[in-house]
Amino acid sequence: MKEYVTKPLETDIFSSRGRNAFRHAGNERFRRVIVSHIERYKSATMRTEKSAIVEEAFKEILGYGGRFLKKDWDNNKQWYVLEKKEARSKVAHTLRDCVTDRIKSIWAAKDGTTVEWADPPRPVWKSGSNGQRRRKRGPAKKKTKKASTAEKEVEKEKEGLFSTACRPSTDDSDKSEETTAEKRRRRLPARKRYVEEQQLEQQHEQQQQQLERQQIQEHQQQQQQSLE
């Protein structure tokens, strides 16, 4: 029998797709737990070792009250708690994907950066001769092997870790406060946005280091003046 939840908690993990799930606090905490176990899981060679690491991560999630929730579409989209076997398999699946570098939001969290959720582009429709609407097809493009691999990685991100997200979505007032640069960056493809955010992070670190050096110099000057 399914255990339904009337109001999800911040420690819960949403097993669904979309911006709301990705930003949910419980999903963010879940990603941090995965990050703390990646290296050990990657270096493990025996199946028993990997299973033990998965079990350790799963118990850590249960220890702080984490529950894996899923929507029951046949029952008014109510959330229900996944059984332990299915929840544990989600932990194992996420760790396996991280080892193969297919979930970049995990590695971004490991490096201290963040990856924002990007809504997929809306399809373009046109009316046919019979009055029915159908999707408009653009000119055929030859996909390179590299581009095809990148697209598969992005799709895997959405179907894998992106589908276990957290913090509630921002309201319209928050969206209106976005700067032009933030809006432009949010519309970029996942790969370009990730690179640009890394560059901004490096610039921020350089500015912080420069500020710290200035503060140290000022402090030294003050000490010299006090000695004189």
Range of the domain at 47: 1-120+149-169
Instruction: Give residue 224's pLDDT.
Output: 74
Residues 165, 189, single domain; the answer is no
Which residues, including other chains, have CB under 8 Å from residue 35's CB and lie 6 or more apart?
106, 109, 110
Report how many helices (DSSP H) and strands (DSSP E) the chain contains, helices first. 9, 6
For the record, the structure tokens of 118 come out as: 């990007």
What pTM was estimated for this model as a whole? 0.47
- Residue 125 inside a domain? The answer is no
Give long-range contacts, CB 8 A cutoff, 24+ apart: 215-223.
none
Antiparallel, parallel or unpaired: β 125-127 and 3-5: unpaired
Q: Where are the beta strands (DSSP E) in the chain?
A: 3-5, 13-14, 68-72, 78-81, 125-127, 133-135
- Residue 142 inside a domain? The answer is no
Euclidean distance between CA atoms 35 and 14, whole angstroms: 18
Residues 57, 164, single domain; the answer is yes
- Find the range with the poorest average confidence among 17-26, 98-107, 138-147: 138-147
Query: How many domains are there within the chain?
Result: 2
Q: Could you identify the residue written with the tokens 């990657």?
A: 42
Residues 93, 185, single domain; the answer is no
Residues 22, 53, single domain; the answer is yes
- Reply yes or no on whether the pLDDT at 139 is more than 70: no
Task: Convert the pLDDT of each residue in 158-198 to its tens digit.
Answer: 444 444 433 333 444 344 444 666 666 666 666 676 677 77
Task: Convert the pLDDT of each residue in 19-63 to its tens digit.
Answer: 888 888 999 999 899 989 988 998 888 999 999 999 999 999 999
